[in-house]
Amino acid sequence: MTTVKDRQSGLGDVIRSFGILGVTAFGGPTAHLGYFREEFVARRKWLTERSYADLVALAQFLPGPASSQVGMALGYHRAGWAGMTAAWLMFTAPSTLLLGFFGLLLSTATIDAHQGWISGLLAAAVAVVFHAVAGMARSMANTRLTATIAVLAGLCVLLLPGPLTHVAVILGAGVIGLAALRGKPQEVDPAGTELRVVGARTAYAALVLFFLLLLALPLGATLFGGALLARVAAYIQAGSLVFGGGHVVLPLLEQLTVAPGWVTQEQFLAGYSAAQAVPGPLFTFASFLGAVDGGWLGALVATVAIFLPSALLMTAGLHFWGRWRHLPALRAAFTGANAGVVGLLAAALWDPVVVHGITGVASLSIAALCWLGLAVWKLPPWSIALAAALGGWLLL
């Protein structure tokens, strides 16, 4: 039975862990998933490798920022609803504050994304993602079938880049797993190690609220007008309709904010440049746009609105996954989907992680030493990030 002391301890763990990740997790969503795996699977052992892979696969099915959704689910798994809120807040707040401040300054000459310390952090992301891919491949792509699925999934993503490719690849991998593995015994985590389950009422309420926000807010903004309602509707739409997260949200945000004149094209591009130089999820670019448009209140509204759909969808997803995870057919499908996730991460290891992180011998050296610290010396990810920033500042 979980005691109050246990819940408080779990919440403290969430705050400490995500607080550090919020200021050190550079490199985009793929790198974030690598940091999460190292911190919560390898070091803290909050959940097993298989449960983590299931969680990543589930996030790939849902629209919104995948790494933020995984972070919310990890917080919920450890400390319930307070943990979910704390994980999101601690991981998101640093970049929200930085980008909101940039927005208030209306700066067009923000941080140079080619500064040495930033280049060092991008090199560290190479080590983190490589370490994550290698570890997940050992358990998720360790048969002829799953290894083949992983390789084909990675090649598809590289050869056919696009906002819906990730979803199509995961679906295809799941179908292959279902066809090839249905009826065969599948490994399932032992009792007590699986993800914390969400109740049915909460899940259905989350789904109803999601569709209500997505459909009713734009209608209300059209019928009744109002600047605040229009902006909430726009950022809810951006957070609800984009698969893959990260840079994929930029065209939609540009359409929703530049076209109506809330921000200028120059301000939009300045904020995008700044977003490359801060840790945490790229979706906090909305914080910059909201700050330019409406000060700190605008930044708060934009940030909450763009992340709220992700929280609602992950809440529902955890319920249905908890109900169906032991079904043989679904377990077979997720075995294939998990192999597809390995392929997606491997493809992202090349582009954008290696492409942007390795620019010469110096950055390769930083990446190699970071991998040594993670894989062999078992150093915590935050120390790797700080060392890489220092190394980049000195060498790059």
Mean of per-residue pLDDT scores for the chain: 84
Predicted local confidence at residue 124, as pLDDT: 83
Global pTM reads 0.77
What is the distance between the alpha carbons of residues 54 and 114, in angstroms, rounded to a whole number? 35
pLDDT band for position 3 (50/70/90)? Answer: very low
Percent of the chain with pLDDT over 90: 35
Q: Which one, of 43, 68, 69, lies nearest residue 321 by Cα?
A: 69
| Of the candidate ranges 12-26, 85-99, 151-165, the one whose mean pLDDT is the lowest | 151-165
Q: What is the pLDDT of residue 218?
A: 86
Token readout for 132 is 């994550």
In contact, 91 and 25? CB cutoff 8 Å: yes
Residue, of 4 and 229, whose pLDDT is higher: 229
In sequence order, the 6+-apart residues with CB closer than 8 A to the CB of 1 are none
Integer Cα distance of 170 and 78 in angstroms: 27
Which ranges constitute the DSSP H helices of the chain? 4-24, 29-36, 49-61, 66-105, 116-140, 144-159, 165-181, 200-224, 227-240, 250-257, 265-275, 285-324, 328-348, 355-357, 361-375, 381-395
User: Domain residue spans in the chain?
Assistant: 1-106+113-185+198-396
pLDDT of the residue at 59 = 86
Question: Rounded distance, CA 132 to CA 346, Å?
Answer: 9
pLDDT at residue 1, rounded to an integer: 42
Write down the pLDDT at residue 2.
46
Nearest to 299 by CA among 108, 95, 109: 95
Contact 247, 166 (CB under 8 A): no
**189: pLDDT confidence band, cut at 50, 70 and 90?**
low
pLDDT in tens, 258-315: 888 898 877 787 677 677 678 888 899 899 999 988 889 999 999 999 999 999 999 9
Alpha carbon distances (Å) from 31 to 35, 39, 81, 389 = 6, 12, 25, 15
